[in-house]
Structure 1
Amino acid sequence: MKAEIIAVGTELLLGQIVNSNAQFLSIELAAIGIDVYFQTVVGDNSSRLQQAIEIAQSRADVIIFTGGIGPTEDDLTKDALAASLGRTLHIDRLAMDHVQRFFDDRKIVMTENNRKQALIIEGTTPLPNEIGLAVGIAFEHEKKYYIVLPGPPREMKPMFVDKAVPWLQQHALTNETPLYSKMLKFAGIGESLLEDKLIELIRSQTDPTIAPYAKEGEVTVRISTKAPSEHEATKKLEILEQQIKEILPEHLYANIDVPLEQLIVDWMADAGLTLSAAESCTGGLLMESITNIPGSASMFAGGIVCYSNDLKKKLLNVPSAYLEGPNAPGAVSREVAEVLADQVRMIADSDFGLSVTGVAGPGYSERKPVGLVFIGLAERGRKTEVYELNLKGTRENIRLRTVKALLYRLWRRLEERKVETPLEGSDL
C-alpha cells in the first residue's frame, strides 16, 4: 500500500519550520506496512492545495495531511479537501465542546474563528485532539484513505499513533499481512561503518528486512517482517537480531527504541551506583542529557562546568603546570581530562566520574584543531581511562558527538561491570 504525505503551510516552504512531521510519519507508516512513496509540501493556498490533492489521488492509496486545520483564515486543509471531494463541512459537537471547555476553564472569551477547529468533513471519523484544539479526521473515499492531522508535532504525533493508526488498521489494512518490527539501537559506531559491517546481511535480505536510520551520534536499525502471527514474526526477528548482535556485539545496546542515557540511568539507579561529571567544551550538555531522564536524581550526584582555567584549578585541583607554561600540555589534553574525571569523582564521592575537555570551535584553542576532544572515565577502585576524539562538524555537532561518545564509553564499562557483578533482572 502506497502513501503520500502532504504537509501544508507556507512557513514550511519558507524554511521557517523544518518538516519533521514527514520524517516521523514515514517511519511510523513503514512500521505498519504502508510505504511512503511521495512527500509534498504546499503553501496556504486553496487552489495549489487542491492540485496537490489531485496529484496524490492519482498515485497513492493513503493520503495523509499535516497542518492547516487551525483557527486562522489561512488554515485551509479541510476546506480544500472537502471542495476536492464534493463534500460539505459541519461542526462536530464533541469537538466543539472540547474547544469551548478549553476557553471556559481558563475564563477566556472564545473568538468565533475558534469554531473552525471543530469542523469535520461529512461522513468522516473525528480524531480527537488530546493535546490541542483542532480535531483531526479519517475517512475512505473511492478506495482512497485520507487522514488529516494537526501541524504541531506535539499534537500530531499522539493523534497519529493513538487514533489514526488503529483506524488505518481497521479500515485500510484489513487484507494486508501484518508487518512486525523491532528497533535495534547502536552506539559508538557511525552509519557508514555499521552498514559496511552488515553489508552481507543487507544485500541478502528478503524477509526480514533491515533498514538503518542515522541520527547525530547514534544509529538505529529497524528489522521488519510480515507474518500471519506475532509468534511467527518474533521467531524470524530473533534469528536476524542474533546474527546482527554477533557481528556488532560492542555496539548494539538495546532492542527497543530507547536512548542510551535511559539505559544508563535505569541500570545505575537499580545497582545503587552514582555518577558525577566535569565538563568544559560541552558546557553542561552531558549533565542535561542525564538529568532529562526521570529517575536520574537517584544516581546523578552532580557536576561542574569548568570553562576557564581558573575554575579548573580552584574547583577541580588541576595543577597549574598542566595549564600554563611553554611545556604545559594545556587545558585540552589527556592529562587534564584525567585529573578532571578523578577529581569530580572524589569531590562528589561518586562511583563514576566523567570528564570532557576539547575544542568545539569554530576557531582553534591553544593552537589545537577544532574537533580535538579528550574524554575521561574514572571509576572507584580502577585506573582512569582517557580517550582522544577527533571530530568533524559544527560546534553543535562536536558537542553532541562528544556527549554520545562519553555515554558510549560509560555504557561499555557498565557492560563489563554487569559481567563481573551481574544485577538480577537487568536488561543492560
Structure 2
Amino acid sequence: MNVELISVGTELLLGNIVNTNANYLSRKCAELGLSLYYQITVGDNKKRLVNVLKECYKRSDIIILTGGLGPTEDDITKETVAEVINRELVPDEESKKRIKAYFDFRNTSSDASGISANNWKQALKIEDSIVITNDNGTAPGYIVEVMDTAVLKKSTGKGKRIILLPGPPSEMIPMFEKSIFPYLKQLQDTVFVSKMVKICGIGESKAETQILDLIEGQSNPTIAPYAKSGEVHFRVTASAKDTEEANRMLEPLLDELKKRFGDHIYTMNEEETLEEVVVKLLHQKKLTLATAESCTGGLFTGRIVNVPGASDVLKEGYITYSNGSKMHLVGVKEETLEVYGAVSEQTAGEMAEGAAKAAGTDTAVAITGIAGPDGGTSLKPVGLVYVSCYVKGNVVIRECHFRGDRQKVRDQTVISALDLLRRNI
C-alpha cells in the first residue's frame, strides 16, 4: 500500500520548528512495510490544503496528516478533510467528556461553562470516523475510511484511508504507537520484521564494503544502510506470512553480520543507544565511572546522564578545559603539559588515571583535542583528539582524526569515547 504524509502548519514552512513528526512516521512506515513515496508540507491555508488533499487522494492508499487539529482559527485540517470527502462534522460525546475532564483537572475557566467555544470545536468529529483518544492533550485523532468515489469522479474499486493526528510530537507519537500502528499493521497481508544492527568504530564505506556481496545479492531479507555521526546502522528486514517465519528468515543473515563485524556491533535493538549500552555494562559489572573532558566540555558526561540509572554508576565529571584545571582537578603533571602539550597521548592518559583517582572510581574516560575552527598546527591539526580510558589500573588511549565543523568533531569524539569504554569494561 502507498502512503503519503502531509504536515500541516505555517510554522513548519517558516522553519520555526523542525518537522520531527515526518522523520518518525517515515521510520514507522518502513517498519510496517508501507511504501512511502511523497511527503508534503503545507501551511495553514484552506485552499492549498484542499488542492494537496485532492492530489494525494489520486495516488495514495493511505494519507496521514499531522497538525491543524487544535482549537484556534488557523487549525483547519479536520474541517478541510471533511469538506474534501463530502462529510459532515458531528458532535462526539466521548470527546466532550474528555475535554471537560481535561479542563476540570487543570481548573481552567474561560467562560460560564468553564471551557471556551474554541475548545468545544475539538469535540466535533468527521462523520463515520474512528476517534483516536489523546491522553496528553485535548485534540483527538481520527481514522476515516472512504471509497475513492468520495473525491474522484470514477471508481477504481479501492478504499482510501485518511488518518489525522495532532502536531505536537508528545501527543502524536503515543497516539500512533497505541492506535495507528496496530490499525495499519492489521491491513497488511504480509508481516514485516526488522532489526537494526548498530555499529561503531568502523566507517560507512568500509562497513558497506565488508557486506557488499550481501547488499548486491539481497532479495528477502533486505539490508539498508544508514550513516550517523560516528556510527553506521543497517536495517535488516524480512517479509513473511507471520512473525515467526520472518524471524527465522532473519536469523542466518544476522548471524553473518555478527560474524563479519564482531564487536563493532554494539546492539541490535533499534531503540537502544550507545550510551545506554555503556551504562548497562557498568551496572552489570558493578563498576563506577568518572570523566575528565577538555574539548567536549561535558558533552560525554551529558550523554551518560541522559540514561536513566546513570546516577548509580557516574560519580564525578570534571571539565578540564585549561591546563590549570588539568593539573589541579585530575593531577596532570606540569612537566607532561610542557613537554607533550595539552593535546597529547601522555596528557590524555594522565587525565583518565587522575580522574579515577580523584573520584575513587573503577573506570574513567578522558578527552583532550582540538575541535576547531582555530588552534590547529601542521603537527597537531584541527580534528586531532585523544580519548583515553582507565579501567582498574589499565589505561587505553585512542588517537582520532575527525573532519567537520566544531560540533561534528565534538560529537564524533563522544561516540569514539563511548565505544572505547564499551570495549574495555
Q: CA deviation at 1:196?
A: 2.2
Deviation per CA, 1:160-204: give whole Å up to 9, x if none. Answer: 11111112233x32xx21111122221223333322222111110
**1:419 aligned residue:** none
Q: CA deviation at 1:284?
A: 1.0
**1:131 aligned residue:** 136
Of 143, 148, 156 in structure 1, the residue corresponding to residue 164 of structure 2 is: 148
**TM-score normalised to structure 1 length:** 0.91
Q: CA deviation at 1:216?
A: 2.5
- Partners of 2:284 and 2:100 in 1: CA distance: 46
**2:105 aligned residue:** 105
Percent identity over paired residues: 42
Residue 349, structure 1, aligned to residue 360, structure 2: yes
- Partners of 2:103 and 2:286 in 1: CA distance: 47
- Partners of 2:412 and 2:232 in 1: CA distance: 12
- Partners of 1:119 and 1:190 in 2: CA distance: 52
Q: Aligned in 2, Cα 1:359/1:144: closer, same or farther, shift over 3 Å?
A: same
Q: Aligned in 2, Cα 1:271/1:41: closer, same or farther, shift over 3 Å?
A: same
Name the SS of the counterpart of 1:87 in structure 2: coil
Equivalent residue letter for 1:311: S
- Partners of 1:54 and 1:194 in 2: CA distance: 43
Q: CA deviation at 1:365?
A: 5.4
Comparing 198-207 and 392-401, the one that deviates more = 392-401
Name the SS of the counterpart of 1:123 in structure 2: coil
Q: CA deviation at 1:300?
A: 1.5
Equivalent residues in 2 for 1:76-115, closer than 5 Å: 76-109=76-109, 110-115=115-120
Residue 228, structure 1, aligned to residue 241, structure 2: yes
Check the 8 A contact 1:119/1:135 in 2, yes or no: no
- Partners of 1:214 and 1:314 in 2: CA distance: 40
- Partners of 2:97 and 2:233 in 1: CA distance: 42
- Partners of 1:81 and 1:160 in 2: CA distance: 19
Equivalent residues in 2 for 1:196-207, closer than 5 Å: 196-207=209-220
Q: CA deviation at 1:37?
A: 0.8
Equivalent residues in 2 for 1:208-227, closer than 5 Å: 208-227=221-240
Q: Aligned in 2, Cα 1:191/1:22: closer, same or farther, shift over 3 Å?
A: farther
Check the 8 A contact 1:357/1:375 in 2, yes or no: yes
Equivalent residues in 2 for 1:54-93, closer than 5 Å: 54-93=54-93
**2:419 aligned residue:** 408
Name the SS of the counterpart of 1:248 in structure 2: helix
Deviation per CA, 1:207-231: give whole Å up to 9, x if none. Answer: 0011122332323221111112222
Name the SS of the counterpart of 1:249 in structure 2: helix
Check the 8 A contact 1:8/1:68 in 2, yes or no: yes
Of 361, 371, 388 in structure 1, the residue corresponding to residue 399 of structure 2 is: 388
Deviation per CA, 1:28-48: give whole Å up to 9, x if none. Answer: 111112111111111110111
Equivalent residue letter for 2:413: T
Check the 8 A contact 1:361/1:394 in 2, yes or no: yes
- Partners of 1:104 and 1:366 in 2: CA distance: 65
Q: Aligned in 2, Cα 1:359/1:3: closer, same or farther, shift over 3 Å?
A: same
**1:371 aligned residue:** 383
Check the 8 A contact 2:192/2:243 in 1, yes or no: no
**1:194 aligned residue:** 207
Q: CA deviation at 1:366?
A: 7.3
Check the 8 A contact 1:180/1:230 in 2, yes or no: yes
Equivalent residue letter for 2:336: Y
Check the 8 A contact 1:265/1:296 in 2, yes or no: yes
**Structure 2: gaps spanning 5 or more residues:** 110-114, 148-158
Equivalent residue letter for 1:400: D
**Structure 1: gaps spanning 5 or more residues:** 415-428
